[in-house]
Structure 1
Amino acid sequence: MGKTKKLIELDDKAIEILEKQAKLQKRSLKNYIEFTLEDQALRFSEPSEEYKAIMDDMIKQMENGTLKTTPLNEVLKKYGREL
């Protein structure tokens, strides 16, 4: 896959925040920004075949009445949280 260069402008506060995050991950600012943008782009892409298969299975279970779910309030309660 090819690469394209783009000039971007960010305000000083954003750069300061991103530099701190880059240091926490032991990355350069440039590498951190590239990694973060590529990761975000992948999130916008089509779901993987594995994920689609899992969702298709859940839809079948729901249609058959065999899908087991847990109400949100019970999950939150289990972890000591509330709505």
Structure 2
Amino acid sequence: MGKTKKLIELDDKAIAILEKQAKLQKRSLKNYIEYTLEDMALRYSEPSEEYKKMMDDMIDRMENGTLKTIPFSDVLKKYGREL
């Protein structure tokens, strides 16, 4: 995958906030911004073929009435938690 350089301008307050976050993750500001933007871009990308196939299967089972579900409250009870 190729890389492209872009010049961006951010206000001082935004830079200060991002620098603090970068330090918390032991990253440079540049690396933190690049990592964050790439992660965000991946979130907007199309789901994988495996995920699409799994979701199509779930939809088919739901439409056919063969999908088994468990109420969320039962899951919480199983792990000793409450709503």
The more displaced of 10-19 and 27-36 is 10-19
State how far apart, in whole Å, the 2-side matches of 1:70 and 1:17 are.
42
Aligned partner of 2:68 in structure 1 is 68
Which TM-score applies when normalising by structure 1? 0.80
Which TM-score applies when normalising by structure 2? 0.80
RMSD over equivalenced CA pairs, Å? 1.9
Does the residue aligned with 1:5 lie in a helix, a strand or coil? Answer: coil
State how far apart, in whole Å, the 2-side matches of 1:69 and 1:49 are.
24
Which runs of no fewer than 5 residues in structure 2 stay unpaired? none
How far the C-alpha of 1:70 sits from its partner, in A, is 4.2
How far the C-alpha of 1:68 sits from its partner, in A, is 2.6
Aligned length: 79
Amino acid at match of 1:20: K
Which runs of no fewer than 5 residues in structure 1 stay unpaired? none
Q: Which runs of 4+ in 1 moved over 4 A?
A: none
Does the residue aligned with 1:61 lie in a helix, a strand or coil? Answer: helix
